[in-house]
Chains A and B, each alone.
Chain A
C-alpha cells in the first residue's frame, strides 16, 4: 500500500475568492506533506486554466492539473481541470467525467467530495472555502457522516460567505476556522 492508502487525503473546494484563500493555505504546507491534496475550484469551462501553474509557483508542494486516469500522488496538489468533473477511481487514480453540470458547475465540488468519500471515508479531510453558491454542502455532509473531518472557512472572514454558510448549515459537526487556522491544522496533520 502507498502512503496515500494509510494517510487518506485532503480535499478542498472553493469558488469566488478561491485563489486568495488557497494562497494563504497551500504555500504554508511543508515539502514533506504526506497526503495527496485535491483542489476543486469553479473555473470557466471553455478556456485553459492557469490555476495549477500559479499554485505550483507559490507552493513548496508541486501542483498539477489532473488528466484522465492520472495517479493520485501523496504530497502533490491535484487541481480539477476545466469542464470535467474530477472523480477518484481508487486510492491511486483519478477518473474524469463530462457528465452534466451540477449546480451549474463542471467541475463540481459536490461530485468530487462524494467520490473522494467513497474512496477514503473517515480518512478524508474536506475543506470548504469562500464561494457565492451552495456547492460542497451536500458532499461535506456525506463526508461527515462517513466519519471524515469537515473544516469550513469562517464565513465572516470569507470573501464570499454563501458557500461556507451552506456547508455549516448542512453539516453542523463542521469545524469552523479562519484561513491561518486551517493552514496550521493541515501542518499539524501532515501525515
Chain B
C-alpha cells in the first residue's frame, strides 16, 4: 500500500472504532493502532468486505456482528501457568507476604478464558491461602468470560499446562484439579468457590475494591501509552501500600506516570510492589 492508501485506511479504522463506541459502547479508540490495524484487515478479508468502510456498514446495521468483531478486536491467547517463572516468583516471593494477611483479594484483570485465574487459584490452594482469598476475574469479552466460568479446555493443551505447572514449582499433580471426558479437560468446580467473574473494562470502569495482588498480563500491550496509564492508575488506586502488581513478560511500568507509586519487587518477572507514594 502507498502512504496515501494507509492514511485513508487509518481514517476508516478510526471511523469504525467511533462507530463501535457510539453503537455498542465498546471503546477501542485508544488501543495500539498497529495491532488494531492488523486485526481489522483480517476481519475485513474474512468477512468479504472490500474496504474497512464496508465493514463499518455491516457493524452498524447488524447487531449480530458485535461478538464477531470482539473476537477480532480482543486477543484471546492464554495458557495455564504461562511463563512458569512468573508463578514460581509468586510462590517464592509474594506468597510469604500474603500469608501475613487474615483475608486477601486478588484481581485478575483481562482474565480471557480463565487459564491465568485457575493457575493462581491452584497456586493459592497449594500454598494454603485459597480459603482466605476472594478472586475477581474480569474481562470485556463476554464469550471469554463465559468460557472462563465454564473452565473447560481442549485436552490437547493439558500436556503443556502440566509441564508449565511443574516448572512453576507446583507440588501437587495438576490432574488433581480436573477430570477428562472425550477430548475435554474439565476443571474441578471447587476451584471457582471463591471466584467472582465480572464484566469490567480497564478503559471505562472504576476500581471496585482494595486488592492485595493484581495480575494483569498481556492486556495492556494492546493499549496505547495514555490508556496504559489509565489502567495503571486503576491498579495504583486498588492497591494499598506493600500490595503487589504482576505484568506480562515484556510489559513495564517504566513509561508510566504512576511509576513512582511502585517499586521493582521481582524485576525479572515484572512483579512490582506498591510504595506509599
Contact = CB atoms under 8 A, between A and B. Distances in A.
Interface of A: 66-69, 81, 83-84, 87-90, 93, 95-100, 111, 114-115, 117-118, 121-122, 142, 145-147
B2 interface: yes
Contacts of A142: 1
Contact of B34 (A81, A115, A147): A115
B32 A95 contact: yes
B251 A67 contact: yes
A81 B249 CA distance: 10
A66 B34 CA distance: 15
Given A68-B250, A146-B2, A98 B224 contact: no
Contacts of A81: 249-250
- Max count, chain B CB within 10 A of own CB: residue among A81, A87, A142: A87
17 contacts: A67-B252, A81-B249, A84-B221, A84-B250, A87-B32, A87-B35, A88-B34, A90-B33, A96-B250, A98-B77, A98-B218, A115-B37, A118-B1, A118-B37, A121-B6, A122-B3, A147-B2
A84 B34 CA distance: 14
B37 A69 contact: no
**Which residue among A88, A98, A122 has the maximum number of chain B CB atoms within 10 Å of its CB?**
A98
A97 B75 contact: yes
Interface in B167-223: 218, 220-222
Interface string B26-42: 00000011110111000
Interface in B1-49: 1-3, 6, 32-35, 37-39
B263 interface: no
A97 B2 CA distance: 24
* Residue picked from A81, A89, A93, A95, most chain B C-beta under 10 Å: A95
Nearest to B9: A118
Interface string B74-99: 01010000000000000000000000
A181 B255 CA distance: 39
Contacts of A67: 250-252
Contacts of B250: 66-68, 81, 84, 96
A89 B223 CA distance: 11
Interface residues of B, number: 26
B39 A89 contact: no
A67 B182 CA distance: 40
A115 to B, nearest CB: 5
B228 interface: yes
Given A69-B225, A118-B37, A99 B77 contact: yes
Given A95-B221, A122-B3, A146-B1, 16 more contacts: A67-B251, A68-B221, A68-B250, A69-B228, A81-B250, A89-B32, A97-B222, A98-B218, A98-B221, A98-B248, A99-B75, A111-B38, A115-B37, A118-B1, A121-B3, A146-B3
Interface in B102-143: none
Nearest to B222: A97
